[in-house]
Amino acid sequence: MTQQPDIVFLVLDTQRADRLSCYGHRLETSPHLDAFAADATLFRNAIAAAQWTIPSHSSMFTGLYPSAHTTVQSYSRLPRTIPTLAERLRQGGYYTAAFCNNPLVGVVDNGLRRGFMSFLNYSGLLTSRPNQAGQRPSLLDRYRQFFKRTLSFIMERIQDSFARSDALLALSFTPLMVPLWQTALSFKGNTGKSLNDAARLLIERKGVAPDQSIFSFINLMGTHLPYHPARHATGALCARCAAQP
């Protein structure tokens, strides 16, 4: 029997298609993606099923519209009667692993982790040592998962209070407040480590059975608000970096 191919499901969270040169941007912003796209199938028309993380990922993981999977709120949970992509692939013999930098996928218990044998979450205070769900966690990992679940519970209620008050919502986006909650949440995760860990799994295949294929889900938050273009040796921004958002 021929081994099935490895699958990498990469989400560039909030990346605009029209800022990628393979989609027609006038600057060479994405040479590596361009090279990959040149020898792949490039879809010109793709529309997100929803405008934010939870319902959008629920649709990507199930192939259903939000009206069908009903996971549309921060407190929603994907119904267990609806199988996820990871569950289907795991049943098909795949080793399923996630490397996620988005707390709405990796921290909040909404059913999006179902089917993953290993789910590494890089968002939060310790981005260099991600929480791991799906495998037997150590005592430290269990404590950190409990801490993040508690923090998530508290933040959900704070978020709900801010969302229901125009005054509080406006306050949360002031120049004084934005750096505070961004630092506290570290919601952008650790792009470099998550990519290295994903590549190491695909290359070294540690813990993967012989002839077993791998399904890797990777969510990167690099272009998500707030976007900070990289500065080069001269201290100036290059045109490629400045054009990314």
Quick: pLDDT tens for 4-21. 999 999 999 989 899 999
Using DSSP's 3-state secondary structure scheme, residue 235 falls into coil
Q: Domains in the chain: how many in total?
A: 1
Mean pLDDT per 10-residue interval, the chain, length 245 residues: 87 91 92 94 91 94 97 90 97 96 84 93 66 62 67 64 67 71 70 94 94 96 77 55 54
Beta bridge partners of 119: 98, 133
* Residue 125 confidence (pLDDT): 61
The answer to the question of residue 220 being in a domain is yes
The answer to the question of residue 40 being in a domain is yes
Distance CA 231, CA 224 (A): 17
CA distances from 179 to 101, 186, 189 (A): 18, 10, 15
Q: Is 237 exposed, middle or buried (0-12, 13-18, 19+ CB in 10 A)?
A: middle
The answer to the question of residue 139 being in a domain is yes
Cβ atoms of 216 and 198 closer than 8 Å? yes
The answer to the question of residue 105 being in a domain is yes
* Residue 189 confidence (pLDDT): 82
* Residue 209 confidence (pLDDT): 92
The answer to the question of residue 127 being in a domain is yes
The answer to the question of residue 2 being in a domain is no
Percent of the chain predicted with pLDDT > 90? 48
The answer to the question of residue 1 being in a domain is no
CA distances from 116 to 131, 209, 210, 228 (A): 14, 15, 19, 31
Residue-range definition of the domain harbouring residue 147: 7-242
The answer to the question of residue 230 being in a domain is yes
CATH assignment at residue 52: 3.40.720.10
